Amino acid sequence: MTLDARIPSGPVAQKWDKHKFEMKLVNPANKRKYHVLVVGSGLAGASAAATMAELGYQVSCFCFQDSPRRAHSIAAQGGINAAKNYQNDGDSIYRLFYDTVKGGDFRAREANVYRLAQISVNIIDQCVAQGVPFAREYGGLLANRSFGGAQVSRTFYARGQTGQQLLLGAYQALEKEVAKGGVKMFARTEMLDLIQVGGRARGIVVRDLVSGKISSHVGDAVILATGGYGNVFYLSTNAKGSNTTAIWRAHKQGALFGNPCFTQIHPTCIPQSGDYQSKLTLMSESLRNDGRVWVPKREGDTRAPHLIPDAERDYYLERKYPSFGNLSPRDIASRAAKEACDSGRGVGPGGLGVYLDFRDAINRLGRDKIAERYGNLFEMYQRITDEDPYQVPMRIYPAVHYTMGGLWVDYNLMSTIPGLHVLGEANFSDHGANRLGASALMQGLADGYFIIPYTIGHYLAGTKLEPVSADHPDVRAAERAVEERTKRLLSIGGKRSAQSFHRELGRIMWDKCGMARDASGLREALQRIPALREEFWSNLTVPGSGAELNQSLEAAGRVADFLELAELMCTDALHREESCGGHFRTEHQTEDGEARRDDERFAYVAAWGHGGEGKAPVLHKEPLAFENVQLATRSYK
């Protein structure tokens, strides 16, 4: 298979405008004849569904939660980037583009990233018009702050709830279209497989999570906006329900999976408190604007933090990266925390934590100012840990937060299955090997509001689509396959719950394919994961039946897919013999412990094809050309 990313020709700054003109259009009167299925209702899915309905397409939208407003985009705290340069501090579309390519450690596609930076300015306008209550200055204009990894203030925010407010904007636009009849919303409905007819994505098989009924929906194109797969690690900052099933099922049907091992470990999360832990909670990295990260200089120093004088503290980010300091990008800050803890200087239970200290900021700005900026985050921290961060420094530790990898898509956001489009975190496209803070919201909304509404028209107008009825043999066959799989999960009759398998898988992944990876650990994981998967299929127990609301069954189906995805992630991590962004191979580091990239051999997207049951995945490469941003070693020193 040759991978064609369909990147338009011409200078990078003109590609998108040129492409918009060259794409085919669907006549307004014909749009209502097309039916588009959107899976997921987060920023990408809700914005896509609402916008396509506004244009006149018939849209069906699906989410597993009880309401589209609950999608996990809602939990994003810090903000959304846009190259508005309202602060007059030297920002520009080109600079946002440059920062994102560099921040992604040169493993993203230039053309996509440039388009993202261009669209960023429209997103802010759109959201303001929808009534998103962004923070404002006294003059009534929009406020900005700087955010992890950026030297300009380009981040727009709504207190510590930016994701919530942006999602509510998209959700309200979606509900507006539901009311008008343009969107049919299916909540508590989970996609369990993709339906292809004639080599094109034409529908999905879903399970109604209340009645348990399995049924099919057919249409002219399918859009997956189902988020990331960080829950393969069991413990992550993702919502409990976030899963890989939709994209994994599509992958098994032929959609290539891009850079599956590129995982973002977020530096500022609340450390784990016990074995019962069900998820990890992120503390927005905006806290690093005013908080200073440190550990004691001396190993095994167990004094209370306020008893450790400044001279005996190691503000290691400020020491190692003086120009970025506490605002160093996420991958770098996470790894530095791991190093500090590995050297025996970690704080809190098990030594798995570092301090994030607001003492100096409170002295400088006053408690009120800090409360205004971070009040809700401080409350959340106190609620979880029972410690008051105004008095005692926060303890933080890195946790899995985001997956840069995802289904491979071309410039039109279409996967290698014609008609199957993938948006937001579910695709691999814009963040390379590391995502900068406040860029996920930007990408989700760029894809949904401003890219797919154009490219879907291009696909539909240029494709001859025969009508497919619900009783088409391929549709029936897909439905039967899902029914059989569900029956199989219910009939194993073993002893272990899906959750116990999930936990065990998570531990393997965190130890062997987490913040630091090496060949022997990855090889070990590649032995242990298939063995665990085998045990899963012979020793799983799922109480209850398929014909009812059954959360154990839901979990079992998702864990089954994670057990397969995990193997692909380790295979990808093993093959990529370099360190870049969030992928740190301990064999490939400089003398002072920084990532060593290998552009000669690895400046490509690893797009993996499913090899078939029990067979090795097949690697395809999309070479990455850097024509605008010069390949250079990332330095934040």
Partner 1 sequence: MPMKLTLRVWRQAGPNADGAFREYQANDVSPDMSFLEMLDVVNEQLTAKGEVPIAFDHDCREGICGMCGLMINGSAHGPMPATTTCQLHMRSFADGETITIEPWRATAFPVLRDLCVDRSALDRIVQAGGFISVQTGNAPDGNALPVPKQDADAAMDAAACIGCGACVAACPNASASLFTAAKVAHLGFLPQGQPERYRRALKMVAQMDLEHFGGCTLFGECQEACPKEISIDTIGRMNKDYLTGMLFEPAENQKAAGAG
Which SS3 state, helix, strand or coil, does residue 417 take? coil
Q: Which of 15, 19, 70, 102 binds partner 1 (CB under 8 A)?
A: 70
Q: Is 4 exposed, middle or buried (0-12, 13-18, 19+ CB in 10 A)?
A: exposed
Which SS3 state, helix, strand or coil, does residue 222 take? strand
Question: From residue 78 to residue 117, what is the string marking binding to partner 1 with x (rule CB under 8 A)?
Answer: ------x-x-------------------------------
Q: Which residues inside 284-303 make contact with partner 1, applying CB under 8 A?
A: none
Contact between 391 and partner 1 per CB under 8 A: no
Pairing label, strands 292-296, 313-314: antiparallel
Total binding residues toward partner 1, as defined by CB under 8 A: 82
Residue 198, sorted as left (phi over 0), alpha (psi -120 to 50) or beta, turns out to be left
Q: Which residues inside 136-155 make contact with partner 1, applying CB under 8 A?
A: 136-142
Span near partner 1 by CB under 8 A; candidates 177-185, 191-199, 436-444, 484-492: 177-185
Minimum Å distance from CB 441 to partner 1?
A: 14
Catalytic residue among 330, 395, 528, 576: 330
Nearer to partner 1, 497 or 589 (CB): 497
Q: Which of 544, 593, 611, 612 binds partner 1 (CB under 8 A)?
A: 544
In whole angstroms, what is the distance from residue 145 CA to residue 78 CA?
10
Helices 452-461 and 43-55, axial angle in degrees (round to 10) = 60
Contact between 176 and partner 1 per CB under 8 A: yes
Distances (CA, A) of 504 to 94, 234, 296, 566: 44, 8, 33, 12
- One-letter amino acid at 196 equals Q
Q: Which of 15, 19, 31, 69 binds partner 1 (CB under 8 A)?
A: 69
Contact between 168 and partner 1 per CB under 8 A: yes
Q: Which of 224, 219, 201, 176 is nearest to 58 (CA)?
A: 219
Distances (CA, A) of 586 to 42, 509, 566: 36, 16, 20
Contact between 453 and partner 1 per CB under 8 A: yes
Q: Which of 76, 73, 54, 57 is nearest to 65 (CA)?
A: 73
Q: Please say whether the beta carbons of 394 and 355 come within 8 A.
A: yes
Span near partner 1 by CB under 8 A; candidates 70-78, 289-297, 309-317, 583-591: 70-78
- Tokens representing residue 337 in the block: 């925390």
Contact between 21 and partner 1 per CB under 8 A: no
Contact between 483 and partner 1 per CB under 8 A: no
Q: Is 46 exposed, middle or buried (0-12, 13-18, 19+ CB in 10 A)?
A: buried
Give start and end residues of each alpha helix (H) in 181-307. 245-252
Q: Is 174 exposed, middle or buried (0-12, 13-18, 19+ CB in 10 A)?
A: buried
Contact between 535 and partner 1 per CB under 8 A: no
Q: Which residues inside 572-631 make contact with partner 1, applying CB under 8 A?
A: none
Q: Which of 30, 122, 151, 589 binds partner 1 (CB under 8 A)?
A: 122
Contact between 2 and partner 1 per CB under 8 A: no
Q: Which residues inside 182-241 make contact with partner 1, applying CB under 8 A?
A: 185, 187, 210, 237, 239-241
Q: Which of 2, 469, 495, 623 binds partner 1 (CB under 8 A)?
A: 495
The neighbour count for residue 344, using CB atoms within 10 Å, is 13
b/e for 601-625, b at 16 or more Cβ within 10 A?
Answer: ebbbbbbbbbeeeeeebeebebebe
Q: Which of 250, 126, 116, 125 is nearest to 195 (CA)?
A: 250
Nearer to partner 1, 243 or 429 (CB): 243
Contact between 451 and partner 1 per CB under 8 A: no
Location of structure tokens 């992890």 = 148
In whole angstroms, what is the distance from residue 360 CA to residue 541 CA?
53
DSSP letter at 298 equals S
Contact between 158 and partner 1 per CB under 8 A: yes
Q: Which residues inside 500-529 make contact with partner 1, applying CB under 8 A?
A: 500
Q: Which of 14, 463, 538, 551 binds partner 1 (CB under 8 A)?
A: 551
Nearer to partner 1, 171 or 233 (CB): 171
Q: Which of 130, 253, 589, 628 binds partner 1 (CB under 8 A)?
A: 130
Contact between 28 and partner 1 per CB under 8 A: no
Nearer to partner 1, 329 or 353 (CB): 353
Minimum Å distance from CB 92 to partner 1?
A: 16
Contact between 556 and partner 1 per CB under 8 A: no
Q: Please say whether the beta carbons of 555 and 499 come within 8 A.
A: yes
Minimum Å distance from CB 70 to partner 1?
A: 4
In whole angstroms, what is the distance from residue 601 CA to residue 114 CA?
24
In whole angstroms, what is the distance from residue 402 CA to residue 43 CA?
15
Nearer to partner 1, 441 or 513 (CB): 441
Could you confirm whether 523 is annotated as catalytic?
Answer: no
Contacts of residue 534, defined as CB under 8 A and 6 or more positions apart, other chains included, come to none
Contact between 538 and partner 1 per CB under 8 A: no
Contact between 23 and partner 1 per CB under 8 A: no
Contact between 126 and partner 1 per CB under 8 A: yes
Minimum Å distance from CB 7 to partner 1?
A: 24
Q: Which of 12, 43, 61, 74 binds partner 1 (CB under 8 A)?
A: 74
Q: Which of 497, 539, 589, 628 binds partner 1 (CB under 8 A)?
A: 497
**DSSP bridge partners of 266:** 399
Contact between 455 and partner 1 per CB under 8 A: no
- Tokens representing residue 338 in the block: 């791991």
Q: Which of 171, 229, 233, 501 binds partner 1 (CB under 8 A)?
A: 171
Q: Which of 87, 281, 412, 589 binds partner 1 (CB under 8 A)?
A: 281
In whole angstroms, what is the distance from residue 396 CA to residue 298 CA?
19
Question: From residue 331 to residue 370, what is the string marking binding to partner 1 with x (rule CB under 8 A)?
Answer: ----------------------------------------
The helix or strand, by DSSP H or E, that contains position 10, with its residue range, turns out to be none
Measure the CA angle with vertex 218, ends 213 and 220; round to 5°. 160
Minimum Å distance from CB 162 to partner 1?
A: 11
Q: Which of 578, 181, 160, 230 is nearest to 402 (CA)?
A: 230
Minimum Å distance from CB 540 to partner 1?
A: 10
Minimum Å distance from CB 499 to partner 1?
A: 6
Minimum Å distance from CB 448 to partner 1?
A: 9
> Which residues are catalytically annotated?
330
